[in-house]
Structure 1
Amino acid sequence: MSKAPKPVGLYPLARKVGDILFLSGVGPRIAGSDANDSGVPGLELDHNGNFKSFDFEAQVHSVFANVKAILEENGSSWDKLVDIQVFLVDMKRDFQTFNRVYAEYFKNIDPKPCRTTIAINALPTPIAIELKCVATV
């Protein structure tokens, strides 16, 4: 069983092509949860689906843990990341927090992966961040 959450559609968590590992979009949901679960760290919803509490930093730590699990389950590792695309639902609110936490995770990695951060309107589940990664194996 994977230590990462299930995909929310008909696609794999990762696919190897030669020595390159491509990760599908990875969010912060807790392992074993699916799109219908409320298993998002730092997020509590009311019965109407509105936010009761929200902790973006908890989502960042969780999405990094999910990426790490997928990398390791596929013969790669954190230090083999080559490229990361970051999708943020609220760039103004969350970018500084993301950048700070990101720096903690990558300060001892050299060479560092390339990174692009993109503001988006929404994600398919009630999450605030998703990563799309490429790594070597």
Structure 2
Amino acid sequence: MSETKHSSKAPEPVGLYPHARKVGNLLFLSGVGPRKRGSKEIPGVTLDTKGNIASYDIAEQCHSVFANVRAILEDAGSSWDQLVDVTVFLTNMKDDFKIYNAIYAEYFKDNQPCRTTVEVLSLPTPIGIELKCIATID
């Protein structure tokens, strides 16, 4: 038996999927990016007139995506310290990994879930980072 979960604080999904799905005592989060709820604003991203990325700040995107993950976890009845697995998608591993890794260490110093970080060519919106997470839930 499973149950979908939606957050009132995290950005709306860009497709037909829930923020998360509870199955037993596990909570599976859909991919979470740094967008702001209720807008197309992406913290740390400046777009040109054609909608292409003109500049970006991966640190600002990291802080925003971690805040969005936390909001989904809390709205679903879980918490940051219940994360057990995190998959991170970066669009520019060469330039962004060092910054992302340092910020990740700040957020996960007390709870250290398993982690996989991969580079992807692009993500569905003009973002540089997306997280896919699994947490426990009571």
Q: Pick the TM interval, shorter chain.
A: over 0.9
Report the equivalent of 2:99: 97
Cα deviation for residue 95 of structure 1 reads 0.5
8 Å Cα contact 2:36/2:43 also seen in 1: yes
TM-score, normalising length: structure 2 = 0.91
Supply the distance in 2 between the matched residues of 1:83 and 1:75 (Cα, whole angstroms): 17
User: Secondary structure at 2:107's aligned position in 1?
Assistant: helix
Is the contact between residue 53 and residue 126 of structure 2 (CA under 8 Å) also seen in structure 1? no
Gaps of 5+ in 1: none
Q: Residues 20 and 27 of structure 2 are in contact (CA less than 8 Å); yes or no, is this contact kept in structure 1?
A: yes
Q: What whole-Å deviation, never above 9, does each CA across 1:105-132 have from its counterpart, x for those lacking one?
A: 01122xx100000110100100000000
Deviation string, structure 1 residues 2-50 (Cα, Å, up to 9, x no partner): 11000010000100001100000000001223xxx2x100111121223
Sequence identity, in percent?
A: 65
TM-score, structure 1 as length reference: 0.92
Partner of 1:83: 85
Question: Can you give the 5+ residue segments of structure 2 that lack an aligned partner in the other structure?
Answer: 1-6
* 1:88 Cα offset (Å): 0.4
Match of 2:44 among 35, 42, 45: 42
CA RMSD of aligned residues (A): 1.0
- Alignment partner, residue 120 of structure 1: 120
Q: Does residue 25 of structure 1 match 2:27? A: no
